[in-house]
Structure 1
Amino acid sequence: MVIVMKNKKFEDRFDVLKFAFIIVFSIIVLKVSYMTVIKGEDYYEQAQNKVYKKIPIEAPRGEIRDRYGRLLAGNRPSFTVQLSKDEIEKADPNEIADKVIKILEQNGEKYIDEFPIIIAENGDYYYTYDKSIYEWKQKNNIPLIYSAEESFYEIVDRLINEGILNVDKDTDKFELQKLLNEHGYYPPIYVSKWKFAEEVKKEQWLYRYKIKEENISAKDAFQRIREYYEIPDELIDYEARKILLVRDLLKSQGYLQYQPIKLALDVSKETVSKIEELAMELPGVSIETEPIRYYPNGNFASHILGQIGKISQQNEIDTYIKEKGYSISDMIGKTGIEKKYEEKLHGEKGYKKVEVDAYGRLIRKIDMKAPTSGDTIYLTIDKDLQEVAENSLKNVLKTIQVGGVYESPWGNYKLRDSKKIYNKATSGAVVALHVKTGEVLAMATYPDYDPNDFSTGITSQEMGKYLPKNKNDPLAAKPLYNIATMTSVQPGSTFKMITGLAAIENGLNPNYKINAKGRIMLGNKSFGCWIWNDHRGSHGPTDLYRALEQSCNYYFYSVSVGYDYGSNKPLPVRMSVEEVLKYARLFGLDERTGIEIEEIPGRVPNPEAKLKNTKRSLEYALNRKLKNYFEDITNKDKEEYEKRIKEIVNWTEENPSRGTILKRLKQLKIKEDKIGEVADLVKYSYFNQAKWKTGDTFNLSIGQGAHAYTPLQMANYISGLVNGGYKNKVTIVDKIESYDKMKVEKTKRERERIPLKKYDNLEEIKKGMLRVTQQGTAKRVFGNFPIKVGAKTGTAQKSGRIPTDNEEEYLITHMASFGVNSNEALALADKYEKEDKSKKSRDYYIRKALFELNPRLTYDQINRFKDTYDNFAWFVSFAPYEDPEIAVVSLIFQGGHGGYAAPIARDIMAEYFGLTKDKNEEDIKEELKLVEELKR
């Protein structure tokens, strides 16, 4: 019985086991069936993707050509040194890295060096990330001690003060960031973390090497990474770094071992031969032929074409790598046409299909697809006209700097006055537009640069020649900056056509004469015409035509407020500053022109909102600035903090004296060492600017004051004046042609009619502008020109003192004049610097010591030994007078007089109208004689 029961149990267990086996087997069969029948194709594709990889082949960038098809930017074949991670790491990566770098250096080749720790000549170690933050702050005039948050709000405050942003103090930081981006400002800051983008990149890079310590020094990090890669001790750090830059480049590939990495671009045949000769010693090092961007004309049209470079900024990484699938090693357009049409020009990469193993290592090559070139961009510029514009701008600047004579077949012109030579005239721009279409015919900025320098990456040493000599001077020559579209300044007398048009549109007869007596006194302040300021002269009875011809300030002062000061009676029409500025807006001076490359909008002043905006801007600035400036509270004591700031803002209408402000700030318990700083800020940057006065209207009427326009905007405004009242959308791109020439996308020419009361009034303005060249301020330049030209000269003032390149040296040199003992001042500065851990610049502590030792000292007194700025020189023009085709506007920084910019326009017009084609100087002189005979 027992045996039977045991057998029964055994059978039951066997049945259970058999049943379990059947279930497991059924599941396996079902799963295999599912994987092979239902999902088989998907899994096969995934398996193939794991085994077969595509290595990209660079596509040639699309070409850029002028309106007639002449090449401005193309490509040429080049040799690239590439590294294959899997092959190198099978061998001795340190030895291979050392050898290949030595070959490149022996042949004078540039190589990609992105290792972010630099060893300076003095032996110091620093992160490139920190240097980038430092340089960004310097470039944007942000105090070096500012945090990411403080830097962000410094930019915001400036744009509010300039009237570009209109926000209140409670605006969300993300909304502020969005508004900045919309206005073309991209601070490299993560507002969510309040960290600089470079700080985040540094943290991410260190984490790759398992370095998690905060604030680890560059030297310590270097040693840790050196140990990580087991660099031999006998190598000094400078030599070890060359190995590290290669190892770090390989590590940046992650698991994509099959993809080659570019180490050096555009190397010589000698380098190629050497690497191929040592192929057995350099496994994983290869040479590939790739297209490289090439600009056959060097510096020509550099600010229009732009430059290319590696993907580096966070916004570029987000846009091109994450969104558009670019590779980290791809070159992209950074500025100009190259940037605007990056996706059109980039082309489509080809590929090599290869087989790799489970570790991503290359097994064999299988297939290949050729790359497709990018589209061709045809610009509206004429290469010949552009060349004339660039050469003329450059030559006029050089002539002004030495006070020489600008020689021309159309008449020589002396570019100096009896008082001085304008030797600081080192920068300028010129724009030529077709007045009927808005096409850019030529556009030049000087100094310029060679975009070829950026095609394969640029070293810090090479970049040095493109940096301003005086980094503290906002008007220092900046070769990489496009003045024509990105620099807005006061227009001076070139704005007077707007004031005159506003007056006659409101009913003033252009023949109405005002007795221009030289100056107008408002209280104890004199508003003089240039002729009064020069030699106490006056223009006498002056109508609109003579006012433009002689650039009479007195006339435009009068019409801007609707009062005839010469006769001490109201004008027969009503006028106001609002009417003047309304016409400035109608002609688009507060807008972008629509050009395809980077530009900033102009700024038309807003008198009605001046006080309100000033108070709002002041409140915003104080909220950001004073958070730690009070002795007894911080910004965390919200109610009391805002109450005190409101009290300061409420002094705006009163505009008390600086002494009164100092006393009040002391009562509000502002820290003693901050009182002077806050007093100067509120008094000179806000209170003095808050209320609108008649004098403000006078200044605006002649193009001074808060106006700010670019040369391109001015050229478009002149086009609207002379083309019958049409505001053009400016374009610099004529058409885009696909790589196979099967598709052509023509740029649409757009314009809209400006709503004027009487379009014939534009003819009255043109008459005045013609008189400028026939008998006025530009007669000496255009008197012998065979084509009738309308024009206006303009001289815009630039106030302030020029900062020195070395402020510390300046302060020490002039210490005796500041009423303090130099040894005592320097010792006190040393004390302040030692106590302060925020690492401000040395000159900051010296100034602090000066103010401490001599409380009566002011910033103006300290800066009095610095040079002053010279005036901007503007010249706006159009031709031919009867049926205008071209508008030319030239601007020279610190050029002295508006007429000094006129020869540039004359040279461009002579080329445009074919006056110099196939003619020598004698032919032109004969033509001029004939013109004179016909006049008689």
Structure 2
Amino acid sequence: MIFKKLKDRYNIITLIFIILLIVIVFRLATIMIVEGEQYREEAENRIFKTLPLPAPRGEIRDRYGRLIAGNRPSFTVQIMKSEVVDEKINEVALNIIEILEKNEDRYHDDFPIIFTEEGEFAFTYDLDLQDWKERNDLLEIDNAKEAFEILRRRYNIEETDPVEVQQQFIKIPNLSVPISILHWKFTDEMRKEQWLQSYNIQDLEVTAKGAFEIIRNRIYRIPEEYSDIEARKISVVREQLRKQGYLQYQPARIAQDISQASVTAIEENLLDLPGVNIAIEPIRYYPEGKMAAHILGYLGKISQQDEIDRYIKELNYLPSDIIGKTGVEHKFEETLKGDDGSQGVIVDSFGRLIRVLERQDPIPGDTLYLTIDANLQRVAEETLKDVLETLQVGGTYETRWGTNVLLNRGVPMVNATSGSVVVTDVKTGEVLALANYPAYDPNLFATGISMTDWQSLIPENERDPLAPRPLLNIATNTAIQPGSTFKMIVGLAGLEQGLSPNYRILDRGFIQVGGHSFGNWLWNQSRRTMGYQGLHQAIADSNNFYFYSVANGYDYGIGRSLPIRMNMDILTDYTKMFGLNDRTGIEIDIPRERSGGVPSIENKTRTVKAMLRNHLNRQMTINDLDETIVDPTPELLTEIIEEIVSWAEENPARSVIYNKMVDLGVKEEKAGIYTDIAKYSYFNQARWSVADTMNFSIGQGEHSYTSLQMANYMAILANGGYRYDLSLVRKTQSYDGKNVVEYPPELVERIGLKDYNNLDEINYGMNLTTVAGSAAATFRRFPIDVAGKTGSAQREGKIPPVDEVEYLKRYLRQFGVTETAVEEKTSKLMEENKDNPRYQDEGYAMREAIRSLNPRVNLDQFKDDYNAYAWFTGFAPYEDPQIAISVLIFQGGSGGFGAPIFREIVAEYMGLNIGNNEENFAIESRLAR
């Protein structure tokens, strides 16, 4: 019967189905009941993770491929928010921070509420703003627009449109103006408001303590068992997780470049640290330390709103990514960044790797090849440092190429603490070295700089603009008068107008122009003269008298006109030919590179107006306004001052100025005083005069050029009149070498000279400078013939003390006043002028108090004078120019002190410092280029 049924096809199918079902049920029962515990344990102990693989940042190498910025492996602490249960997050966060702190490892701390030394809560935004105000003497100013206006006037900015003013602020070295002109708020205030709103805290006036309690109790719900200090540590980690936003699948970086001790401690406690991972990531490394720091720039966290908009929102950077902030690291950020990869893995509950599922390798950033020669850069930096240190003590600087006693008239230059050197290839415009002293180590910024390290880079005396500033790129951002290094342009203009280089002018020591005496430097120093001199000897001996005469088209030696036509338009045109009114085109710090400052009547008028504005802002108060005519307010006073300043171009008669002031509301007795100040001290100085041409001819006055511009000027003299854009970058190359982008030299123009042979006459004078002129002693033993020029630029004023109030109190007796009287008068002035921001500066108010008690006192008499800037510029070799060099020393006194630096750089470039067996070959190779 059964067999008959099996012959039925339908019954066979049914039987097979029953058998299969029994097998499946049996197998399921085995898996779920017999082996269920084993599989459950395996499932719980296996976790799938997608780990990011950060791309190595592109390397930076010199022109010969030497590494100057690379990467090294480092340990990074990561935490994956999606893998940490809420009840464990506080414990995990606190454990991580305490492990790191125990081993003195730094971690990312972006939580903006901290405890002060007094144990009080404080917003970092408020502290940063307070610090900025203190550094800029704006402590009592709460209104951002008012602070903006004070800075505009302080820095003599003629423009009044906020956008234009902001652009001028950018050009000022070491000045940051954290003010939004769109909202007229301090940016730190706006950042604090945005941060509070991100936590849905609508009370923007909440205290730091109040905000902390809201976040602790309502947002993060941190139990009371944790102290406030522990709660803040927890908040630091949770802030990093919160910043990830919707990217919860991406781990947040808690700390980078941690020690082996922290790695070990975390690995040992991984069971109690769910979601925590130790990853090996590349970190930026600068093997040469400080070398080329201002070229390379430094890195930093994405922090400013424009950076957030650009990198996070537009380019999809992670909030924890490090970006280039300055230098080529910033300029080529997107080229150097690379593309991150990822790796899918399975790990057990202890975080141990079980299996790699998939991997997308990161693509390293492109390699950046610079134009600099690392060896030449190193020599430039070391020589600059050595010469400065020798100059400060008045010692002897000696190498195999010469001996120099660095004393200025027997006195050491103790304030010669900063300087720069620029070396360029005259045939391409490539920068071979760009050195500043002092410098900084960009390794400090690789993972975010600590507050201690940051403070070490701040000048001790921030009130002194010439105090050593390690972060300042002097070569690009400091524009000053060129002194006598400018004389070659005046000489060339004379030659181009038809003056013979052999035309000799008799040096009579000085030239009297009205009430001013313009003397040759030798006359000023020892009442001697240089006799008859032509162009070549005038350059070699830096004869002021000769160039005064050429610039004015008048032979002051014999009292008659020179046989050429000369005027300021001609001199200005030739100055601009050499790029001294333009940016150099260099790739770094383009927004902040100072463009030229060729003197002009417009520039002079602008300067005079700015000086008058500052004078009136210091002197005029609302008490000078007539209450019967106007309602005295600080705003009205500002409007009146601006109106008076605007009369500079017109320069009305004295009576007209007086009547206008009275009509504006200035008291009659005060109007007379301010009229004389405006008319005779400022308006009359706003027009161009013979005296201005005198100063122009020797590189003083309103000239303002950077070391880069001066090096390019020397290159144009040397290469036959070809003007190149300066460049620091030769090429970029992908990691696999397949994609190469070249940056070839860019010729701007060949300057329009009537006779290019005139350059030879100028260059011969520069060569004579190093053979028989002002720099001959430095090059006496030097085997390479060079062309150079010394120069010094006067720096007016006194060096401000670190603390003005302390300085004034120290000399009260010498000022002829008593401490009690000064204190009473200072308090009274501050109270009476509480609407005037200047009087809220105790130092300013105290100065005014002492002046009111003793009007004839000289309050700055005990301050040190600034010494002159020292320049040495030129090119080498003389017969076949290859490199141009500019050397600048702050407060160096004499341009000759820069000559040893020039000499040692040429020696290195020409191969004179290598072994004797290779010496001849190296020199021949250089000369054969």
What residue is the counterpart of 1:254 in the other structure?
245
**Cα deviation 1:68-97 (Å, max 9, x = unaligned):** 111111111111011222333433333322
For 1:766, the aligned partner's letter is N
Kindly indicate whether the alpha-carbon contact (under 8 Å) linking 1:735 and 1:747 is maintained by their aligned counterparts in 2. yes
Structure 2 CA distance for aligned equivalents of residues 915 and 115 of structure 1: 56
Superposed, which structure 2 residues align to 1:815-834 within 5 Å? 815-830=812-827
2:203 corresponds to which residue? 213
Question: Are 1:722 and 2:713 an aligned pair?
Answer: no
Instruction: Pick from 731, 734, 742 the counterpart of residue 746 of structure 1.
Output: 742
- Which position in structure 2 is the counterpart of 1:13? none
CA deviation vs aligned residue, 1:601-638 (integer Å, no higher than 9, x gap):
33333433256545876899999999989675579999
Q: Give the counterpart letter for 2:421 in structure 1.
A: V
Cα gap change, 1:615/1:193 in structure 2, threshold over 3 Å: closer, same or farther?
same
**Which of residues 291, 295, 300 in structure 1 aligns to 2:282?**
291
The Cα shift of 1:677 comes to 13
Residue aligning to 1:5? none
Aligned AA (1:550) = D
Cα distance change, pair 899–619 in 1 and its aligned pair in 2 (3 A): closer
The aligned counterpart of 1:434 is 425
Q: Give me the whole-angstrom Cα distance separating, in 1, the residues matched to 2:268 and 2:226.
A: 26
**Structure 2 Cα separation of the partners of residues 270 and 87 of structure 1:** 25
Mapped to 2, the partners of 1:859 and 1:380 lie a distance apart of 57
1:83 corresponds in structure 2 to 79
- 1:551 matched to 2:523: no
- 1:548-587 pair list within 5 angstroms: 548-587=539-578
Aligned-partner Cα distance in 1 for 2:135–2:673:
23
2:893 is the alignment partner of 1:896? yes
Match in the other structure for 2:115? 119
Q: 1:705 to 1:615 in 2, by over 3 A?
A: closer
1:225 equivalent in alignment to 2:221: no
Q: How much identity, in percent, do the aligned residues show? A: 46
Compared CA separation, residues 702 and 365, structure 1 to 2 (3 A): same
1:202 matched residue in structure 2? 192
Give the C-alpha shift of residue 765 in structure 1: 0.1
1:695-706 alignment, distance < 5 Å: 695-706=691-702
The counterpart of 2:272, out of the listed 278, 281, 284, is: 281
The corresponding residue for 1:758 is: 755
CA pair 463-353 structure 1, distance change in 2 beyond 3 A: same
Q: Normalising by structure 2, report the TM-score.
A: 0.84
Give the distance between the partners of 1:426 and 1:547, measured in 2 at CA: 31
> Aligned runs of 1:389-404 on 2, under 5 Å?
389-404=380-395
> Is residue 2:183 matched to residue 1:193?
yes
CA contact (8 A) 2:733 2:741 kept: yes
Q: Which residue of 1 aligns with 2:34?
A: none
Q: Deviations over 1:903-923 (max 9, x none)?
A: 1111111111111111499x9
How is 1:785-804 mapped onto 2 (pairs within 5 angstroms)? 785-804=782-801
Residue range with higher mean Cα deviation, 140-149 or 698-707: 140-149
- Report if aligned partners of 1:59, 1:349 keep a CA contact under 8 Å in 2: yes
Shift of 1:521: 0.9
C-alpha spacing 1:640/1:251, structure 2 compared with 1 (3 Å): closer
Distance 2:601 2:103 in 1: 66
State how far apart, in whole Å, the 1-side matches of 2:616 and 2:705 are.
31
Secondary structure, aligned partner of 1:412 = strand
Deviation at 1:57, TM superposition (A): 3.0
Distance 2:678 2:836 in 1: 26
SS of the residue aligned with 1:441? strand
1:715 to 1:837, Cα distance in 2 relative to 1, 3 A: same
* Aligned mate of 2:488, from 471, 484, 497: 497
1:396/1:728 Cα in 2 relative to 1: closer, same or farther (>3 Å)?
same
Gaps spanning 5+ residues in structure 2: where?
1-47, 347-354, 924-929
Paired positions, count: 857
RMSD: 3.8
* Matching of residue 270 in structure 1 with residue 270 in structure 2: no
Asked whether the equivalents of residues 610 and 690 of structure 1 are also in contact (C-alpha less than 8 Å), the reply is no
The residue number in structure 2 matching 1:312 is: 303
Write the distance in 1 (CA, Å) between the matches of 2:195 and 2:179: 17
Cα offset, 1:566, TM superposition: 1.0
- Contact conserved, 1:80 with 1:262, CA < 8 A, in 2? yes
Match of 1:335 among 301, 309, 326: 326
Letter in structure 1 aligned against 2:715:
S
Report the CA distance shift for 1:245/1:660 in structure 2 as closer, same or farther (over 3 A): farther
Residue aligned with 1:499, SS? helix
SS of the residue corresponding to residue 582 of structure 2 reads coil
Query: d(CA) in 1 for partners of 2:846 and 2:84?
Result: 59
Corresponding position of 1:875: 872
Distance 1:612 1:784, change over 3 A: closer
* Equivalent residue, structure 2, for 1:488: 479
Of 99, 120, 128, the match for 1:103: 99
Distance 1:86 1:635 in 2: 64
Aligned pair 1:734/2:730, yes or no?
A: yes
* Structure-1-length-normalised TM-score: 0.84
Q: Which amino acid aligns with 2:754?
A: K
| SS of 2:440 mapped into structure 1 | coil
Residue number in structure 1 paired with 2:67:
71
Report what 2:926 is aligned to: none
Q: For residue 608 of structure 1, what is the amino acid of its counterpart?
A: I
Give how far 1:101 is off.
1.2
- Give 1:480 deviation, angstroms: 1.0
- Distance 1:910-1:179 versus aligned 2 partners, 3 A rule: closer
Q: What's the secondary structure of 1:432's corresponding residue?
A: strand
Assess, with a 3 A threshold, how the Cα gap between structure 1 residues 898 and 374 changes in structure 2: closer, same or farther. Answer: same
The one of 855, 863, 868 equivalent to 1:866 is 863
The separation in 2 between residues aligned to 1:144 and 1:578, in whole angstroms, is: 47
1: CA distance between counterparts of 2:677 and 2:448?
42
- Structure 1 residue 881 displacement after superposition: 0.9
CA distance in 2, matches of 1:641, 1:810: 30
Using a 3 Å threshold, how does the CA distance of structure 1 residues 864 and 118 change in structure 2: closer, same or farther? farther
Q: Conserved in 2, the CA contact under 8 Å of 1:581 and 1:604?
A: no
Q: Which residue of 1 aligns with 2:404?
A: 413
The answer for the alignment partner of 1:603 in structure 2 is 596
Match of 2:764 in 1: 767
Report the alpha carbon displacement of residue 370 of structure 1 after superposing the two structures with TM: 1.5
Q: Do 2:830 and 2:839's aligned partners in 1 also have CA atoms closer than 8 Å?
A: yes
8 Å CA contact retained: 2:487, 2:698 = yes
Instruction: Name the SS of the counterpart of 2:257 in structure 1.
Output: strand
Change (3 A) 1:781 1:853: closer
Mapped pair 1:323 → 2:314: yes
Deviates more, 1:150-159 or 1:672-681: 672-681
Q: 2:374 aligns with which of 376, 380, 383?
A: 383
Q: Per-residue displacement from partner, 1:45-86 (whole Å, max 9, x unpaired)?
A: xxxxxxx99764311100000111111111111110112223
CA 1:908–1:635 in 2, change beyond 3 Å: closer, same or farther?
farther
SS in 2 for 1:823: helix
CA distances 1:797-854 after superposition (whole Å, capped 9, x unpaired): 1001111111221122122333432123224444666788789799823542552464
Correspondence list, 1:36-51, <5 A: none
After TM superposition, the structure 1 stretch with the greater mean CA deviation from structure 2, 475-484 or 123-132, is 123-132
Q: Which amino acid aligns with 1:603?
A: G
What is the distance in 1 between the residues matched to 2:575 and 2:216?
63
Task: Look up the SS of the partner of 2:558 in the other structure.
Answer: coil
1:855 corresponds to which of 852, 873, 877: 852
Aligned twin of 2:775: 778
Partner residue in 1 for 2:32 = none
Say whether the 8 Å CA contact 1:619–1:649 is kept in structure 2: no
The more displaced of 855-864 and 339-348 is: 855-864
How far apart, CA to CA, are the structure 1 residues paired with 2:856 and 2:291? 43
Q: CA deviation at 1:121?
A: 1.9
SS at structure 2 position matched to 1:708: coil
